[in-house]
Amino acid sequence: MPASSQLPLDAFPAWARLHDVALAGIELQHVDGKGYGFVLNSELQAGQDAQSPWLIVPRELVFSSETVQEYAKVDQNFKQLLQVVGHKSVRIDAMLFLLCHLVHSQRGQASSRSITPTPWTEYVRFLPRSIPTPTMWSEPERLLLKGTSLEAALEAKLSTLADEFDNLGAQTETMPFWNTLLWEHGAASLDDWVLVDAWFRSRCLELPQVGDAMVPGLDMVNHSGSPSGFYEVDGNADVVLLARPDCAAPCGGEVAISYGQNKSAAEMLFSYGFIDRDGTTHSLTLPLDPFPDDPLAKAKVHVFGRPRTFKVTRDDQRLEWQSPFVHLMCLNEEDGLEFRIVQDTGGKGQLRLLWQGDDVTGRASDLETLVQDHPLCQVFRLRAVAVLLERIETQLAKLKGDPSDDKRQPLIAAGLLREECIAAARTLRQAETGLLEAAVEALESEKSTLLTHDQVVAYLGAMEDGRNDEAPLGTTHNEGEDDFS
């Protein structure tokens, strides 16, 4: 990538003045351990000028889904690109816009193809080319996340990005303008696509009445669990950065905002490339696969129709778990679960889910509630707890299998592992190990309690005596069951 494709951050104040971005009481400086950020150029006392904005960004500079659609009206080539490749999601449309401007900045004046310039044509040249999000880690660095909840999520994300980039290439190689701009001399690469995705995820904010948006200038403000500032949309639809009324800070103190109060350590690392130990929630989400020997597994996956996960959360020493899929996963025909193929008015077969004879297809994620009145509801709960306990113990074993620091030294010496990646992965592993160990303890306790419940005692006794044909905890299946694959 040509060095000229980037602009020094020293040039940002000039860009801001040119585009009517107002800065007052703050300036852009290098911040230890964080790169660049805004710092106060005078002392801030609690309650002092709380309503005088540090930063005002005109609404026309805010980059949102509306920005993309408006740009398509003035650039016919981009409109064509959006019609062919876009309109799938806000993220994809935003990434197409950012990629075009990134490639344009890389090629400079040498290109015979040019896009219609906007303030963002120059602003993308301020954005960093290296972001510490795991999607931009090297392969050896990504191995540091093995056993964490990010392992599967990161693999899936990288696969999705590769598929999206391949699709972009296949659909634009016959479009003369875009073939020249994006693919001539290898102008656009998968690394570029990964970069613009990281830009959007790490710098995006949720704005009232706007939705996901990138705000130039505001996206240079760093995060803190104890922020000194906050942002809002004012009466003119401009975005403003304000001091918190109760905040006091010295001259030279960093101005910070909160990127979110309810994000887990994995979410923080995945989206922003760092973990705030004090500002994250104690939670994690893991994938959950159906039983490999369940003949109804494919049917269950189909009607569920959403990510099959479970989430563990700890708050004030109380641990809770949620997993809509595990309740569907642990039910069988012997319990009253049934699948039917029903023809719609067009003669096409529709797979329907029935519970106790009632069609509950639209409530496949609500079976925990639907089984509450069943005589064996505590048995069903015990099955779910047993499944999650085994899944967590498996994950915990993988997490504790992390290579020792001694084995990493050759990779560090060879420059294949960055210290900041090692530190971030270590923080994540420590957080998730503690949470999983607490989850094992809590689920073991719940399992022991359930085993003493009258419903469960009677059910297991009947099973042992052979007087009841209900499925045991391991969930057996009749060989004659239909395969809805």
Task: Compare 408 and 336 and report the one with higher pLDDT.
Answer: 336
Average pLDDT over residues 438-446: 96
Cα separation of 41 and 48, whole Å?
14
Average pLDDT over residues 177-189: 89
Residue 377: name the closest of 272, 470, 311, 293 by CA.
470
Residue 424's contacts (CB-CB under 8 Å, 6 or more residues apart) are 132, 269, 273, 274, 275
- The CATH number corresponding to 3-257 among 3.40.50.150, 2.60.40.650, 3.60.20.40, 3.90.1410.10 equals 3.90.1410.10
The predicted structure's pLDDT at residue 42: 79
pLDDT band, residue 277 (cuts 50/70/90): confident
Cα separation of 439 and 434, whole Å?
9
The predicted structure's pLDDT at residue 432: 95
Tell me: pLDDT of 314 over 70: yes
pLDDT band, residue 355 (cuts 50/70/90): very high
Tell me: pLDDT of 210 over 80: yes
Residue 167: name the closest of 138, 193, 186, 201 by CA.
193
Average pLDDT over residues 183-205: 93
Domain pair 3-257 / 281-465, same fold: no
Query: Which pairing describes strands 309-315 and 318-322: parallel, antiparallel, or unpaired?
Result: antiparallel
Q: What are the sequence ranges of the domains in the chain?
A: 3-257, 281-465
Average pLDDT over residues 60-77: 95
Tell me: pLDDT of 260 over 60: yes
Average pLDDT over residues 168-176: 94
pLDDT tens-place string over residues 92-122: 999 999 999 999 888 765 555 689 999 999 9
Fold (topology level) of 281-465: set domain protein methyltransferase, domain 2 (3.90.1420)
pLDDT band, residue 456 (cuts 50/70/90): very high
Q: What's the distance, Cα to Cα, between the start and end of the chain in Å?
A: 48
Average pLDDT over residues 51-72: 93
Task: Compare 32 and 439 and report the one with higher pLDDT.
Answer: 439
The predicted structure's pLDDT at residue 2: 45
The predicted structure's pLDDT at residue 41: 87
The predicted structure's pLDDT at residue 378: 97
Tell me: pLDDT of 50 over 80: no
Cα separation of 388 and 395, whole Å?
10
Provide the H-helix boundaries in 371-453. 377-399, 405-413, 419-451
Q: Are 145 and 265 in contact (CB under 8 A)?
A: no
Tell me: pLDDT of 209 over 60: yes
Query: Which pairing describes strands 256-257 and 222-223: parallel, antiparallel, or unpaired?
Result: parallel
Query: Which of 29-38, 84-93, 244-253, 293-302 has the largest mean confidence?
Result: 293-302
Q: Are 50 and 245 in contact (CB under 8 A)?
A: yes
The predicted structure's pLDDT at residue 1: 41
Average pLDDT over residues 156-165: 97
Pick from 82-91, 287-296, 342-351, 422-431: least confident = 342-351
The predicted structure's pLDDT at residue 415: 79
- Residue with tokens 């994300």, as numbered in its chain: 157
The predicted structure's pLDDT at residue 48: 59
Token pair belonging to 366: 């609500």
Q: Across 17-80, where does the E strand assignment appear? A: 22-23, 26-31, 35-40, 55-57
The predicted structure's pLDDT at residue 110: 52
- Report the mean per-residue pLDDT for the chain: 89
pLDDT band, residue 293 (cuts 50/70/90): very high
Cα separation of 258 and 229, whole Å?
8
The predicted structure's pLDDT at residue 184: 85
Average pLDDT over residues 125-148: 95
The predicted structure's pLDDT at residue 485: 35
Cα-Cα-Cα-Cα dihedral sign, residues 173, 178, 184, 190? negative
**Residue 5 DSSP symbol:** G
Average pLDDT over residues 6-20: 94
The predicted structure's pLDDT at residue 480: 43
Tell me: pLDDT of 476 over 60: no
How much of the chain is helix, strand and coil, in % rounded to 5? 50, 15, 35
| pTM, to two decimals | 0.86
The predicted structure's pLDDT at residue 224: 86
Average pLDDT over residues 46-62: 83
pLDDT band, residue 413 (cuts 50/70/90): confident
Task: Compare 4 and 180 and report the one with higher pLDDT.
Answer: 180
The predicted structure's pLDDT at residue 112: 55
